[in-house]
Protein backbone atom coordinates (compact mmCIF):
# COMPACT_ATOMS: atom_id res chain seq x y z
CA UNK A 1 0.00 0.00 0.00
CA UNK A 2 2.87 2.36 0.75
CA UNK A 3 3.85 2.53 -2.91
CA UNK A 4 0.23 3.23 -3.87
CA UNK A 5 0.09 6.09 -1.36
CA UNK A 6 3.39 7.39 -2.75
CA UNK A 7 2.08 7.32 -6.34
CA UNK A 8 -1.11 9.09 -5.34
CA UNK A 9 0.72 11.63 -3.18
CA UNK A 10 3.07 12.50 -6.06
CA UNK A 11 0.04 13.09 -8.31
CA UNK A 12 -1.53 15.32 -5.66
CA UNK A 13 1.72 17.21 -5.07
CA UNK A 14 1.54 18.62 -8.61
CA UNK A 15 -2.08 19.84 -8.28
CA UNK A 16 -5.31 19.09 -6.49
CA UNK A 17 -7.21 16.25 -8.12
CA UNK A 18 -10.53 14.48 -7.75
CA UNK A 19 -10.67 11.05 -6.20
CA UNK A 20 -11.69 9.60 -9.57
CA UNK A 21 -8.63 11.15 -11.22
CA UNK A 22 -6.29 9.74 -8.56
CA UNK A 23 -7.98 6.34 -8.91
CA UNK A 24 -7.34 6.46 -12.70
CA UNK A 25 -3.67 7.31 -12.12
CA UNK A 26 -3.28 4.41 -9.71
CA UNK A 27 -4.93 2.03 -12.21
CA UNK A 28 -2.55 3.20 -14.98
CA UNK A 29 0.38 2.51 -12.66
CA UNK A 30 -0.87 -1.05 -12.14
CA UNK A 31 -2.01 -0.63 -8.54
CA UNK A 32 -4.62 -3.22 -7.55
CA UNK A 33 -8.14 -2.09 -6.67
CA UNK A 34 -7.67 -3.14 -3.05
CA UNK A 35 -4.40 -1.22 -2.68
CA UNK A 36 -5.88 1.78 -4.47
CA UNK A 37 -8.88 1.89 -2.13
CA UNK A 38 -6.62 1.67 0.92
CA UNK A 39 -4.41 4.46 -0.42
CA UNK A 40 -7.40 6.66 -1.22
CA UNK A 41 -8.85 6.10 2.24
CA UNK A 42 -5.52 7.03 3.84
CA UNK A 43 -5.25 10.21 1.75
CA UNK A 44 -8.87 11.15 2.58
CA UNK A 45 -8.13 10.66 6.29
CA UNK A 46 -5.06 12.90 6.00
CA UNK A 47 -7.08 15.57 4.17
CA UNK A 48 -4.92 15.32 1.06
CA UNK A 49 -7.83 14.08 -1.03
CA UNK A 50 -11.09 16.00 -0.83
CA UNK A 51 -13.53 16.16 -3.74
CA UNK A 52 -15.38 19.09 -2.17
CA UNK A 53 -12.21 21.17 -1.99
CA UNK A 54 -11.18 20.08 -5.47
CA UNK A 55 -14.58 20.94 -6.98
CA UNK A 56 -14.72 24.35 -5.28
CA UNK A 57 -11.22 25.29 -6.40
CA UNK A 58 -11.71 24.04 -9.95
CA UNK A 59 -15.10 25.73 -10.32
CA UNK A 60 -13.81 29.03 -8.96
CA UNK A 61 -10.83 28.97 -11.31
CA UNK A 62 -13.02 28.21 -14.32
CA UNK A 63 -15.54 30.92 -13.37
CA UNK A 64 -12.69 33.43 -13.03
CA UNK A 65 -11.50 32.41 -16.52
CA UNK A 66 -14.92 33.26 -17.93
CA UNK A 67 -16.78 29.95 -18.06
CA UNK A 68 -20.50 29.51 -17.51
CA UNK A 69 -22.22 26.95 -15.35
CA UNK A 70 -22.73 24.37 -18.11
CA UNK A 71 -19.04 24.33 -19.01
CA UNK A 72 -17.99 24.19 -15.37
CA UNK A 73 -20.42 21.34 -14.66
CA UNK A 74 -19.15 19.41 -17.68
CA UNK A 75 -15.52 19.80 -16.61
CA UNK A 76 -16.26 18.73 -13.05
CA UNK A 77 -18.24 15.73 -14.29
CA UNK A 78 -15.36 14.79 -16.58
CA UNK A 79 -13.07 14.97 -13.55
CA UNK A 80 -15.34 12.47 -11.79
CA UNK A 81 -17.10 14.77 -9.35
CA UNK A 82 -20.52 13.48 -8.26
CA UNK A 83 -23.55 15.37 -9.62
CA UNK A 84 -24.79 16.45 -6.17
CA UNK A 85 -21.39 17.96 -5.39
CA UNK A 86 -21.31 19.68 -8.80
CA UNK A 87 -24.70 21.25 -8.08
CA UNK A 88 -23.62 22.41 -4.62
CA UNK A 89 -20.40 23.83 -6.00
CA UNK A 90 -22.19 25.78 -8.74
CA UNK A 91 -24.64 27.22 -6.23
CA UNK A 92 -21.70 28.54 -4.18
CA UNK A 93 -20.37 30.57 -7.14
CA UNK A 94 -21.51 34.07 -7.98
CA UNK A 95 -24.73 33.80 -10.02
CA UNK A 96 -24.09 32.98 -13.66
CA UNK A 97 -26.09 36.01 -14.82
CA UNK A 98 -23.87 38.32 -12.78
CA UNK A 99 -20.73 36.73 -14.21
CA UNK A 100 -22.11 37.07 -17.75
CA UNK A 101 -22.97 40.74 -17.13
CA UNK A 102 -19.46 41.47 -15.83
CA UNK A 103 -17.87 39.80 -18.85
CA UNK A 104 -20.20 41.68 -21.19
CA UNK A 105 -19.29 44.98 -19.53
CA UNK A 106 -15.61 44.26 -20.26
CA UNK A 107 -16.09 42.90 -23.79
CA UNK A 108 -18.94 45.10 -24.94
CA UNK A 109 -22.58 44.51 -25.74
CA UNK A 110 -22.16 42.89 -29.14
CA UNK A 111 -23.28 39.82 -31.02
CA UNK A 112 -19.69 38.63 -30.86
CA UNK A 113 -19.82 38.77 -27.05
CA UNK A 114 -23.11 36.86 -27.03
CA UNK A 115 -21.59 34.13 -29.21
CA UNK A 116 -18.47 34.06 -27.03
CA UNK A 117 -20.59 33.62 -23.88
CA UNK A 118 -22.52 30.80 -25.53
CA UNK A 119 -19.25 29.10 -26.43
CA UNK A 120 -18.11 29.41 -22.82
CA UNK A 121 -21.12 27.51 -21.50
CA UNK A 122 -23.42 30.33 -20.37
CA UNK A 123 -27.15 29.68 -20.45
CA UNK A 124 -29.40 31.45 -22.95
CA UNK A 125 -31.10 33.30 -20.07
CA UNK A 126 -27.79 34.63 -18.77
CA UNK A 127 -26.72 35.71 -22.24
CA UNK A 128 -30.05 37.40 -22.99
CA UNK A 129 -29.90 39.24 -19.69
CA UNK A 130 -26.28 40.32 -20.19
CA UNK A 131 -26.75 41.60 -23.72
CA UNK A 132 -30.35 42.71 -23.34
CA UNK A 133 -29.86 45.96 -25.20
CA UNK A 134 -28.13 44.42 -28.19
CA UNK A 135 -31.19 44.56 -30.49
CA UNK A 136 -31.81 48.21 -29.62
CA UNK A 137 -28.13 49.03 -30.06
CA UNK A 138 -28.00 47.32 -33.46
CA UNK A 139 -31.19 49.07 -34.60
CA UNK A 140 -29.78 52.46 -33.55
CA UNK A 141 -26.51 51.74 -35.40
CA UNK A 142 -28.35 50.75 -38.57
CA UNK A 143 -31.09 53.39 -38.31
pLDDT in tens, the chain (143 residues): 568 899 998 989 989 999 999 999 999 999 999 999 999 999 999 999 999 999 999 999 999 999 999 999 999 999 999 999 999 999 999 999 999 999 999 999 999 999 999 999 999 999 999 998 665 555 555 55
Cα 31 to chain centroid distance, Å, stands at: 28
Please give the pLDDT value at position 14: 87
Q: What structural domains and CATH numbers belong to the chain?
A: 1-49 (1.10.10), 51-93 (1.10.10), 96-142 (no CATH)
Please give the pLDDT value at position 142: 52
What CA–CA distance (Å, rounded) separates 122 from 115? 10
Cα 51 to chain centroid distance, Å, stands at: 12
Please give the pLDDT value at position 132: 84
Contact 12, 22 (CB under 8 A): yes
Please give the pLDDT value at position 96: 97
Q: Please name which of 95, 126, 127 lies closest in space to residue 113, comparing C-alpha atoms.
A: 127
Amino acid sequence: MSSAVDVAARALARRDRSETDVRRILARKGVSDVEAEEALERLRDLGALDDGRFAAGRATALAERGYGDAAIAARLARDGVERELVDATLSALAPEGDRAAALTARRGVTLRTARWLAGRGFSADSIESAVAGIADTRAAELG
